[in-house]
Amino acid sequence: MSNGPDFSLELAAQAQGHTRIAGVDEVGRGPLAGPVTAAAVVLDPARIPEGLNDSKRLSAKRREALFDVIMDMAEVSIAHASVEEIDALNILRASHLAMERAVAGLTTPPDMALIDGNLIPRNLSVPAQAVIRGDALSVSISAASIMAKITRDRIMWDLAQQFPGYGWESNAGYPSKSHKEALQNLGVTPHHRRSFKPVHNILYQGKSVSN
C-alpha cells in the first residue's frame, strides 16, 4: 500500500495524450465564515517536490515550507468564491466555481484536470477526471490542497485581526465551540455565511454586527 500520493494518475493521463495535467482541490466547504478557496497546480514531472501529501496529514510548519517550494517549482493558480457567492449559489456550486476560476487562471491552459472529489465542475474549460480522495492519491492534487489551505488560512488570519473574538486565526472559520459561542455573544459579521444554519439562526434572532 502506498504511503502517500504519487504521479501514477498523471502518467495515465499522459499515456492518453495529455501533456499538461493540473491537479485541482478546494478548501473551506465546512466553515461558517470566509471564502471557499481552490488551487490548480501543474507540476514539472522532473521537479516534483518531496513530501507532498494531503494537506490535512501535514503539520502547519510542513505545509508552509511546501507552499514556498510548490510556488517555486510548479505553475500555480489560486482562486476564490466569496461569502456572497456561497450564499447565492450554495457551497457545492461555489466550491466548483472557485475550482473553475483556478483552472482558468493558469497561464497556459492544461490539457486535463484531476479534480479532488466525485464531481467535475460543470463549467470547467478542460477535460477532467474526478478522483475520490485525490489529495491522498495524486501529487498534483495534494500540491493543490496545500496551496489552497495555506492561502485560505492566511486570509482567515487577516480577517481575525479585523474581527477579533471568533478565533479565526486558529479555527479558520470552522464551527468550533468557541466560534459558535462568539457568534452568540458577538453576533454575525459580514464575513459569515448567512445560508449556513448556525449563522442563519442567529440572524433570525436579530443579532449581527456591521463592519
Q: Where are the domains of the chain?
A: 8-153, 161-205
Class of domain 8-153: alpha beta
pLDDT digits (tens, 9 = 90+) for 4-25: 899 999 999 999 999 999 999 9
Read off φ and ψ for residue 62, nearest 5 degrees. -70, -40
Ligand-binding site membership of 85 (annotated): no
**Grid cell of 106 as nine digits:** 493558469
Ligand-binding site membership of 111 (annotated): no
Ligand-binding site membership of 10 (annotated): no
Please tell me the predicted confidence (pLDDT) of residue 206. 60
Q: Do 184 and 165 touch, CB atoms closer than 8 A?
A: no
Please tell me the predicted confidence (pLDDT) of residue 205. 78
pTM above 0.75, yes or no: yes
The Cα-based distances of 173 to 87, 201, 203 in angstroms read 15, 17, 17
Q: Which residues in the chain come in under a pLDDT of 50?
A: 1
